[in-house]
Amino acid sequence: MPMTMSRARVARRIATAAAFGGGGAGLLGVATVGVLLTEVRLARRTVGGSSDIPPCADGRYGAAFGHRTDRPPLRLGFLGDSTAAGQGVHRTSQTPGALLASGLAALAELPVDFRNVALPGAQSDDLARQVELLLADTDATPDVCVIMIGANDVTHRMPPARSVRHLSEAVRALRAAGCEVIVGTCPDLGTIEPVYQPLRWVARRLSRQLAAAQTIGAVESGGRTVSLGDLLGPEFEARPRELFGPDNYHPSAEGYATAAMAVLPTLCAALGLWPEEERPEPARGEGLLPVEQAAAEAASEGGTEVTASRAPWALLKHRRRRQLPTAEPTDPSSVTG
């Protein structure tokens, strides 16, 4: 609990700095940063990375549902970095966007038009460009958008307040355009193999702190968040050869499926499609908390959703996951641009 409260206070300071245009809230001393940078360079050489172009998953999913209704297709947009793009897998159906588009189509019983503007290597300062791309066609504004961002902000030492400010601005712009927004917060970088101490501890601390601050910024800008870090952390540590891809950095197909299963309930709930009640179930550790406390707890427990309630409160929920259907887009030409 003391660690959670400390993280909550720091996350609130970062979010406040973001709201007022600050860029600081650095968490480490200069000497520590020097050691960290040396460790990061060594880890990057060992871990490697992937220069493969992620498979393009844009298109229409669940087209068969279109024959059963005259309702228009749902539109799903994806923004973010290489994780959002699906880097590390080679089949369209294995990317997180395709998995979520298929799941959304099955639960809504409607076709879903999917478009992904995520860019491998992107930091949060690229979100404005991605939002502009996604909203360029005013006749095809997404009903709901998923943002996955933050890992590159940590590894490239972007000041956390600046990172949160860019994310908050993106959420507000999408909400102003009528989109529901779900943010998959910064993953736990302490799970990457082979990353050793002290870098593992520092990476975990920085990524969880950014995830908590992202949650405050996103929720107070009208979005919902799902914590991905700790959700994947224990599973990555226990089964790294299954959940990491060949580059030992990006998730494998199974890793992406694990993340997508965590996001799908919140994605559907944002559209009023999830069968669970919105009110909290105390027996499952759910409840109304001050937003910074909810953010800190979510950063420590993966798969946790945080949604705005009446200020300054937020709703912390653990939605039940369901198995995801998989499908290739049935009409790749249906989404253009």
Banded pLDDT at 211 (limits 50, 70, 90): very high
pLDDT at 32 over 70: no
Kind of pairing between the strands at 313-317 and 305-308: antiparallel
Could you give the CA distance from residue 243 to residue 247 in angstroms, rounded to a whole number? 11
Mean pLDDT lowest among 109-118, 126-135, 173-182, 198-207: 198-207
Could you give the CA distance from residue 130 to residue 77 in angstroms, rounded to a whole number? 10
**Which carries the bigger pLDDT value, residue 23 or residue 187?**
187
Banded pLDDT at 324 (limits 50, 70, 90): low
Banded pLDDT at 238 (limits 50, 70, 90): low
Could you give the CA distance from residue 279 to residue 255 in angstroms, rounded to a whole number? 30
Residue 315 neighbours by CB under 8 Å, 6+ apart:
278, 280, 286, 287, 288, 294, 305, 306, 307, 308, 309
Residues 181/144, Cβ–Cβ less than 8 Å: yes
Angle at which helix 253-270 crosses helix 229-238, to 10 degrees, equals 160
pLDDT at 218 over 80: yes
Could you give the CA distance from residue 337 to residue 335 in angstroms, rounded to a whole number? 7
71-90 per-position pLDDT tens digit: 999 999 999 998 899 988 88
89-141 per-position pLDDT tens digit: 889 999 999 999 999 999 999 999 999 999 988 999 999 999 999 999 999 99
What pLDDT does residue 199 have? Answer: 65
Mean pLDDT, the chain, whole residue set: 81
Could you give the CA distance from residue 181 to residue 191 in angstroms, rounded to a whole number? 27
Q: What is the pTM of this model?
A: 0.85
Tokens 């460009």 correspond to 129
Mean pLDDT lowest among 236-240, 252-256, 303-307: 236-240
**Which carries the bigger pLDDT value, residue 275 or residue 299?**
299
Strand, helix or coil at 328?
coil
Banded pLDDT at 213 (limits 50, 70, 90): very high
The most confident of 2-6, 80-84, 122-126, 295-299, by mean pLDDT: 122-126
**Which carries the bigger pLDDT value, residue 165 or residue 195?**
165
Strand (E) positions, 240-296?
A: 287-290
User: Minimal CA–CA distance to 58: which of 121, 133, 127, 126?
Assistant: 133
| Residue 180 identity | E
What pLDDT does residue 47 have? Answer: 44
Mean pLDDT lowest among 120-124, 228-232, 281-285: 228-232
The most confident of 9-18, 276-285, 303-312, by mean pLDDT: 303-312
Ramachandran region, residue 335 (left: φ > 0; alpha: ψ -120 to 50; beta: rest): beta
**Which carries the bigger pLDDT value, residue 308 or residue 249?**
308
What pLDDT does residue 267 have? Answer: 95
